[in-house]
Chains A and B, each alone.
Chain A
Amino acid sequence: MTYLNALNAELRRAGVPALRRRRIVTEFADHLHENPSAELGAPRELARQFADDLATRLARRAAVVAFTGLALTGIAFAAVLLIGTRIVLLPLGTHQVGFVTRRATIVAPLYVFAAQVALAAGVLALLRAWRLRRVPVITAADAAILHRRVGVALLAGILTAASAPVSGIFAARGEVYVRPADVSGICVLILLAMLWFPLRGLTLRPSRAGAAGDLRFDLGSRDSRITPLRIALALSAVILIVVAAAGLVADDPYDGIARGLLDGAACLIGFVVLGRYLGLRTPVETPAKTQPETQPGIAQ
């Protein structure tokens, strides 16, 4: 096996994409042409370096892209709702306006819960990526956590967009208008496309071993008294108080308290169910990709 063949095989094994592989091998071929006796280093070690860099960038970029996509989806829906509201307020005559009530009733709880999960997971992914922004090569565990958070955020975002109750707003024929159902469909498609990142992360993972931090790491806390559970409890309490206060302002304190209890409980349930998977509760150690020790015979 020639050096270049060995390098190509190791790059493929490390999960380096084909286009990048071709470029690397071409560069090394040019190098060997200039100096056939050049000491380029072990192909496996070089492949690991390329893969580590790519995997680190992929994980960080996934968080930023997913958060941006979810934020834009939120803005798009907010805009559609605003347009819808304006249409309702204007005497448009031929325009048929309103939600499909039955459908909205069925999907509304799903819509509300999924939107909150998407927001929480998206923010957590961005927070972890920001914490790791200066780390040259992140650990395999951190990469796994980032991709899990991105995956959960995107899936919840897709669920939100697909079940959005705005899809029942209609406008008359022959008019130029925004069709909310189209907006919903476009958002679903965009978020689906973004799932490429966590799926790619399954095969392209850094080789660096080590544990990933928990919620304290995300928040930059080193105080041992502040545990992830206490943070979750505090957050649930804040949600309860804020929602209850909102109910009070809206002259419906009982409804506010009921919603606050539900939202606070949902936050705690989310922490219990997804906490370990999303790297909130205890440091997670994902084994780094291991490769057999034996090196194939290489002829330069």
Chain B
Amino acid sequence: MKAEELKGHLDGLILSVVASESLHGYAVIEALKQRSGGDLALPEGTVYPALHRLEAEGLLKSEWSTASGRRRRVYSITRRGETELGASRERWRLFSSTIEALLS
């Protein structure tokens, strides 16, 4: 799956992986890869602007933690983020069922 095809869905995907547990940037990308069975092919760096944007919108919150002497930013979902994730899932269901109906 190419980055272009992910446009408009990346925020929802990030929210869904962070919803289950607090993760740092690299772990978010790894979780996205794992959950997609390795099909997600996007420049890994593009996830960081999205993480920052989601945090600015109040959908994620973050804090510094230290792992093996290195500082890393750990992200977790907010209540607003959970609400947005639910709405995002609903939008996707509607979209995919419509496209499915049209294509089949």
Q: Give chain A's interface residues, CB within 8 Å of chain B.
A: 23-24, 26-31, 33-35, 38-41, 46, 49-50, 53, 57
Contact = CB atoms under 8 A, between A and B. Distances in A.
Interface string B40-72: 000111101100110010000000000000111
Contacts of A28: 45, 48
Contact of A39 (B24, B44, B48): B44
A53 B56 contact: yes
B25 interface: yes
A26 B71 CA distance: 7
Given A39-B43, A50-B49, A50-B52, 13 more contacts: A24-B52, A28-B48, A30-B73, A31-B25, A31-B44, A34-B26, A38-B26, A40-B44, A41-B44, A41-B46, A46-B45, A46-B46, A53-B52
Given A26-B71, A40-B44, A40-B45, A31 B26 contact: yes
Given A27-B72, A30-B71, A31-B26, A41 B52 contact: no
Which applies to chain A's interface (DSSP): helix, strand, loop or mixed?
helix
5 contacts: A26-B72, A27-B48, A28-B45, A40-B44, A40-B45
Contacts of B45: 28, 39-41, 46
Contacts of B29: 31
A40 B26 contact: no
Nearest to B68: A33
B43 A35 contact: no
A224 B12 CA distance: 38
A260 to B, nearest CB: 45
B52 A35 contact: no
Contact of A35 (B26, B46, B72): B26
A30 B25 contact: yes
Contacts of B71: 26, 30
B70 A53 contact: no
B72 A30 contact: yes
Contacts of B44: 31, 38-41
Given A26-B71, A57-B56, A46 B49 contact: yes
A286 to B, nearest CB: 23
A43 to B, nearest CB: 8
Contacts of B26: 30-31, 34-35, 38
A41 B43 contact: yes
B57 to A, nearest CB: 9
Contacts of A27: 24-25, 48, 72-73
B56 A23 contact: no
A53 B55 CA distance: 12
A24 B25 CA distance: 11
A46 B72 contact: no
Contacts of A41: 43-46
B46 to A, nearest CB: 6
Given A30-B24, A31-B26, A40-B44, A53 B73 contact: no
A135 to B, nearest CB: 13
